[in-house]
């Protein structure tokens, strides 16, 4: 049994958290050229901002994540998505760090996105919501930092798409970030990555209940499309070996005779993941954010030259990859590391042995992952201690 505090939360949890909001009335010029007439960010914070405001850490979420990274919302039995890493005494130790975790614009969990109301029409944005990018996200995160009085983050941290935001922070705001931590990330998406994203989008967009993106007005949810998108995504986040270890060929119900319904354990798992996701995620957000991934290219401003892209970065980097990750394989992290070395930037990098694939960054194991990550965070803390 885990040790619980008096409120019933595990002792190494930040416990009960209440999301906060910040709003901007001014027009936000997006990278696409579109204008967002003001926006809101919903975010959570954990730990205490120190007097010098030097212990702040920004946690950036990935495709399906949100601001609820750690702790528990009132009445919830499940904690935030990175409870394994964030909390008192944990890798991102809230006894030392003040953690800021926003939901990005374009998302569907409270920040301005396709399911919020367009003030110009009085209706939900739907497909009219402009395409956002990592650049836009980072700019909005910097505005949030301004609002919180944080001039410089001790670290900007993220896994997968979150890591891409951390890397972009490093080159866009070199004076505002001391360390960038990019886990299971990539400098840009491969054709194969984009292909998977397009299959997911296609599944959503061809679901009749998607209604051309106007499903909210139509009072529908494209559950089949979302479910298919998530099932596909989930398979790519795990390794073949890992799936085999966990489910093998176990049959949940029915048998191999062909009489009656047959369901393998792995099918049941995917159905559960898909259904669960379909009930919680806005289809237009999913389409928009998978495009954020497709559009990300760290070297774009420099003709694809990553070395030049990193030229002005001043922060130190931690780049971690997982051996069985085939969505953003260790080779993709190596591209980042080689460019950092060529650009003469400080970097620590390792490939963690694990069978858990891309999603390993969310897990408590393997121990080697958190030991290295934590040792690095100890260094981060030394900078302001």
Partner 1 sequence: MRPDLEIISDLIAPESRVLDLGCGSGALLFHLQAHKSVNGYGLEIDREQILECVAKGVNVIEQDLDEGLSHFSDDSFDFVVMTETLQAVKRPDQVIAEMLRIGREAIVTFPNFGHLACRLQIALKGRMPVTGHLPNQWYDTPNIHMCTFRDFEQFCREKGIPIRERFVVNNVYNNNWLINRLPNLFGITAYYRIGRA
Q: In sequence order, what are the residues at sequence separation of 6 or more whose Cβ sits closer than 8 angstroms to the Cβ of residue 134?
A: 161, 164, 165, 168, 292, 295, 296
- What are the tokens at 290? 């998978």
Task: Please report where in the chains the tokens 């999603």 appear, as a residue.
Answer: 359
Q: Is 384 exposed, middle or buried (0-12, 13-18, 19+ CB in 10 A)?
A: middle
329 belongs to the binding site for partner 1 (CB under 8 A): no
| Residue number, 280 or 344, with CB nearest to partner 1 | 344
Judged by DSSP in three states, 161 sits in: helix
Shortest spacing between CB 346 and partner 1, in angstroms = 5
Under rule CB under 8 A, how many of the chain's residues touch partner 1?
20
304 belongs to the binding site for partner 1 (CB under 8 A): no
Residues between 33 and 52 with contacts to partner 1, criterion CB under 8 A: none
| Residue number, 308 or 334, with CB nearest to partner 1 | 334
| Residue number, 236 or 354, with CB nearest to partner 1 | 354
Residue among 34, 49, 143, 348 that touches partner 1 (CB under 8 A): 348
Residues between 355 and 374 with contacts to partner 1, criterion CB under 8 A: 368, 371-372
- What are the tokens at 11? 């002792």
- The Cα–Cα gap between 116 and 109 comes to 10
Active-site residue flag, 325: yes
Report the alpha-carbon angle 5-8-12, nearest 5: 50
Active-site residue flag, 358: yes
| Residue number, 217 or 331, with CB nearest to partner 1 | 331
Shortest spacing between CB 378 and partner 1, in angstroms = 7
Q: In sequence order, what are the residues at sequence separation of 6 or more whose Cβ sits closer than 8 angstroms to the Cβ of residue 153?
A: 56, 57, 58, 145, 169, 176, 177, 178
Active-site residue flag, 207: no
Closest CA to 273 of 226, 324, 339: 226
> Which residue numbers are catalytic?
160, 325, 358
Can you give the binding site for partner 1, defined by CB under 8 A? 334, 337-338, 341-342, 344, 346-351, 368, 371-372, 375-376, 378-379, 382
């Amino acid at each position: 049994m885990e040790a619980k505090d008096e409120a019933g939360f595990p002792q190494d949890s930040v416990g009960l958290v209440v999301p906060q909001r910040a709003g901007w009335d001014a027009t936000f010029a997006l990278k696409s050229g579109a204008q967002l007439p003001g926006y809101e960010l919903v975010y959570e914070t954990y730990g205490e901002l120190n007097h010098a405001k030097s212990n702040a850490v920004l946690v950036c979420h990935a495709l399906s994540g949100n601001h609820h990274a750690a702790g528990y919302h009132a009445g919830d039995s499940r904690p935030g998505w990175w409870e394994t890493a964030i909390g008192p005494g944990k890798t991102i130790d809230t006894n030392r760090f003040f953690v800021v975790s926003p939901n990005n614009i374009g998302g569907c969990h409270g920040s301005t996105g396709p399911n919020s109301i367009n003030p110009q029409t009085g209706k939900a944005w739907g497909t009219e919501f402009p395409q956002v990018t990592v650049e836009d996200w980072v700019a909005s995160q910097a505005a949030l930092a301004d609002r919180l009085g944080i001039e410089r983050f001790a670290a900007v941290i993220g896994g997968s798409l979150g890591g891409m935001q951390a890397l972009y922070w490093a080159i866009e705001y070199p004076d505002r970030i001391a360390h960038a931590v990019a886990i299971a990330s990539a400098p840009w998406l491969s054709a194969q990555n984009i292909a998977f994203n397009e299959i997911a989008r296609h599944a959503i967009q061809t679901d009749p209940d998607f209604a051309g993106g106007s499903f909210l007005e139509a009072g529908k949810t494209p559950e089949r499309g979302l479910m298919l998108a998530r099932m596909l995504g989930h398979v790519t986040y795990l390794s073949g070996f890992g799936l085999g270890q966990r489910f093998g060929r176990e049959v949940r119900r029915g048998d191999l005779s062909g009489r009656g319904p047959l369901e393998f354990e792995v099918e049941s798992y995917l159905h559960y993941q898909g259904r669960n996701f379909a009930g919680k995620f806005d289809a237009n957000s999913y389409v928009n954010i998978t495009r954020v991934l497709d559009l990300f290219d760290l070297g774009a401003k420099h003709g694809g030259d990553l070395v030049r892209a990193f030229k002005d970065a001043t922060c130190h980097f931690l780049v971690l990859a997982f051996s069985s990750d085939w969505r953003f394989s260790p080779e993709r992290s190596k591209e980042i590391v080689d460019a950092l070395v060529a650009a003469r930037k400080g970097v620590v990098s390792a490939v963690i042995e694990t069978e858990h694939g891309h999603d390993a960054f969310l897990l408590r194991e393997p121990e080697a992952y958190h030991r290295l990550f934590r040792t690095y965070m100890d260094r981060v803390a030394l900078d302001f201690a």
